[in-house]
Amino acid sequence: MSILSKPSASLAMRRLAVVLAAASVSFALSPAASAHHSQSEFDFTAIVTVEGTVTELSWKSPHARLYVDVVNEDGEVENWNFELPSPTTLMRRGWTRKSLVPGDQVSVTAARARDFPTIAYARSIRNADGEPMFTGVTQIEEPRPAAAE
């Protein structure tokens, strides 16, 4: 005969089932929790404007990406990586996968990443004619320090 009586064994099995179910739900939801993020990696007080040549428009969720070759002060080409809103947001603003194609000239105003000098969050994009291409980005401003009186 078992050390545990039948009612105790049944209770232990129910508890184990509840623990396993809770662990399964937690495991299943962990990718969703890790996908939730903010733009905290970007410094919205460090705004830059760069001009260059589009090398790629990556149309993937959760964020589209725009890659642009930019010539730096030393005459070297750097490939900038600009985060854009989701493809769905861009489509609602009239964009398509072909709104920007390799070779297009653009001017991008963006908030630099805190730790990566050529990664930024695109705030506005202008095409070669200087016309704005609305990205659907909400303008985020960090509070400015109060002026000393």
Asked if the structure places residue 144 within a domain, the reply is no
Asked if the structure places residue 26 within a domain, the reply is yes
- pTM, rounded to two decimals: 0.67
> 50 or 140: whose pLDDT is higher?
50
Residue 13: what pLDDT?
76
Q: Give percent of the chain with pLDDT exceeding 90.
A: 51
Same domain, 23 and 96: no
Same domain, 16 and 79: no
Residue 41: what pLDDT?
84
- Name the domain count of the chain: 2
DSSP state of 102: T
Asked if the structure places residue 70 within a domain, the reply is yes
Asked if the structure places residue 25 within a domain, the reply is yes
Structural contact between residues 68 and 80, judged by C-beta atoms closer than 8 angstroms: yes
Same domain, 88 and 20: no
111: which strand partners? 47, 121
State the residue for tokens 């964009």.
Answer: 95
> Is 122 a residue whose pLDDT tops 90?
yes
Asked if the structure places residue 143 within a domain, the reply is no
State the residue for tokens 């930024």.
Answer: 120
Distance (Å, whole) CA 48 – CA 38: 20
Residue 16: what pLDDT?
75
Q: Give percent of the chain with pLDDT exceeding 70.
A: 70
Mean pLDDT score, 49-61 = 96
Task: List the CATH number of the domain containing 68.
Answer: 2.40.50.140
Give, for 75, the enclosing helix (H) or strand (E).
none
Domain residue limits at 115: 42-133
Residue 36: what pLDDT?
47
> Is 17 a residue whose pLDDT tops 90?
no
Same domain, 56 and 91: yes
Same domain, 50 and 115: yes
What percent helix, strand, coil does the chain show, rounded to 5? 25, 35, 40
14: Cα within 13 Å, side-chain hemisphere:
6
Asked if the structure places residue 148 within a domain, the reply is no
Same domain, 111 and 51: yes
Asked if the structure places residue 139 within a domain, the reply is no
CA 52 to each of CA 97, 122, 129, 139, 146: distance values in angstroms, whole numbers, following the listed order: 19, 14, 13, 23, 36
Mean pLDDT score, 73-99 = 93
